[in-house]
Amino acid sequence: MQKTDHSERKKQHLEGCLRLARQQPPRELFFDHRLLPKAFPDLALGEVDPSTTFLGKRLTFSFMIGAMTGGFELGDDLNVQLARHARRAGVALALGSLRPFLTGAPMAPLLGLRRELGSELPLLGNISVWQLADPKVTAGLAELAVVASLDALMVHVNPIQELAQPEGQRNFRRVFEALERFVAGSTVPVFVKGTGEGFDDDAIQRLCTLPGLAGVETGGRGTCDFAAVERLRCENPVEALVAQSLEGLGRSAEGTFFAFKNLLPEEATLVFGGGVGGPRDMVKALALGAHLVSAASAPLLALTDGTLEIWLASMRESLSRHMLLLGCPNLERLRQGWAIEQRTLP
Ligand SMILES: Cc1cc2nc3c(=O)[nH]c(=O)nc-3n(C[C@H](O)[C@H](O)[C@H](O)COP(=O)(O)O)c2cc1C
């Protein structure tokens, strides 16, 4: 079986995600829903406020750069750039898995990120749910949250990717119990997030009744098919075919979102993430009730193209102009649901 260390694997994931994202034709999310522009919005752009509060901090608009990387040279460098862009744009930043920092990666790059982002914006750490059964990991995370001034931790759930990965998890027993203990004992808010695979109804039911959970990020089948990413890194032909057999599985981000929306307690935060390519996806998700929108692949592509600053600025400005067109002076109004409707068949 092919074995690689964590940092080499993360580098390969980064390259694989980029390669796949570049091949993906853009797809409009919530295609069966359409926004309802007003002919007479009776509002001025100066009255529109797309800002929001997340984890007690103010964002200039309702957006988070999604979890991707850290703990190896290229990943740390990308995080510095992402933190600078997040600061300039006034949005939240989620980091990729903190596992390397629990297993000896130099801490300085992680500690420096808070400086780059500033204290006014939310910084979220990340760990795989499969790690939570290990008390050393949970104790280490609590320490990292303090020393790196993290506002929250995100726990990602990705069984399809694990099974597509030659060195991945094969034992999924008692994982939810470990998650329950972790949420109950955490000193910082905990979110659970999908990756490229979304969540099934049973998982959604359990997460929505998990006491103390701060919120969820949908994830969903879309831009980043991690089984395909794993296939790209497989040297063993059997493993490559197994990974291929797992491609395209999982629930869409939209399906995951609607299921969460019905069940998530009022006080929990619903983050829509999974395939967000541009402003229209963000506006639709917010109009349908998401508190926050997150994207990983699109900002990563823009960063590597040198256009992330423009991309983020256009996301914010497009949101404001859409809000004006929809007659919504603030996000609370937009989230009420009357600015969007399900398309009816002709
Ligand atoms: C290069 C790359 C690395 C990622 N690494 C992580 C990770 O370490 N932890 C995590 O929770 N999600 C990770 N993700 C998943 C994203 O956070 C996100 O859930 C997923 O890519 C879907 O969003 P997108 O369509 O906007 O990319 C990664 C995504 C990319 C593109």
What is the model's pTM?
A: 0.96
Q: Closest residue (by CA) to atom 2 of ligand 1?
A: 68
DSSP state of 49: B
221 and 256 Cβ atoms separated by less than 8 Å: no
The most distant pair of C-alpha atoms in the chain lies apart, rounded to whole Å, by: 64
Segment (H or E) for 123:
strand 123-128
Residues within 6 Å of ligand 1 by CB? 13-14, 17, 66-69, 96-97, 126, 156, 193, 195-196, 219, 222-224, 273-276, 295-298, 300
Among 71-75, 90-94, 151-155, 280-284, the range scoring the smallest mean pLDDT is 71-75
Q: State the Cα–Cα distance between residues 144 and 326, nearest whole angstrom.
A: 43
Q: Give the list of residues 6+ apart from residue 183 with CB closer than 8 angstroms, or none.
A: 190, 210, 211, 212, 213
Q: State the Cα–Cα distance between residues 335 and 284, nearest whole angstrom.
A: 9
Task: Write out the two tokens for 143.
Answer: 């320490």
Give the CB-side neighbour count of residue 248, counting CA atoms within 13 A.
2
Q: State the Cα–Cα distance between residues 47 and 329, nearest whole angstrom.
A: 6
Q: Which atom of ligand 1 is nearest to the CA of 277?
A: 26
pLDDT band at 23 (very low <50, low <70, confident <90, very high): confident
pLDDT reported for residue 5: 73
125 and 119 Cβ atoms separated by less than 8 Å: no
User: How many angstroms is it from 68 CA to the middle of ligand 1?
Assistant: 5
User: How many angstroms is it from 26 CA to the middle of ligand 1?
Assistant: 17
pLDDT over 90, % of the chain:
86
pLDDT reported for residue 221: 84
Q: Quick check: 2 pLDDT over 50? A: no
State pLDDT tens for residues 49-64: 999 999 999 999 999 9
Q: State the Cα–Cα distance between residues 50 and 71, nearest whole angstrom.
A: 33
Q: Which atom of ligand 1 is nearest to the CA of 275?
A: 25
Q: Closest residue (by CA) to atom 22 of ligand 1?
A: 274
Distance from chain centroid for Cα 110: 19
pLDDT band at 27 (very low <50, low <70, confident <90, very high): confident
Q: What is the mean pLDDT of residues 278-291?
A: 98
Q: Closest residue (by CA) to atom 8 of ligand 1?
A: 96
pLDDT reported for residue 24: 80
Domain boundaries, the chain: 6-32+55-317
Its CATH class, for the domain covering 6-32+55-317, is alpha beta
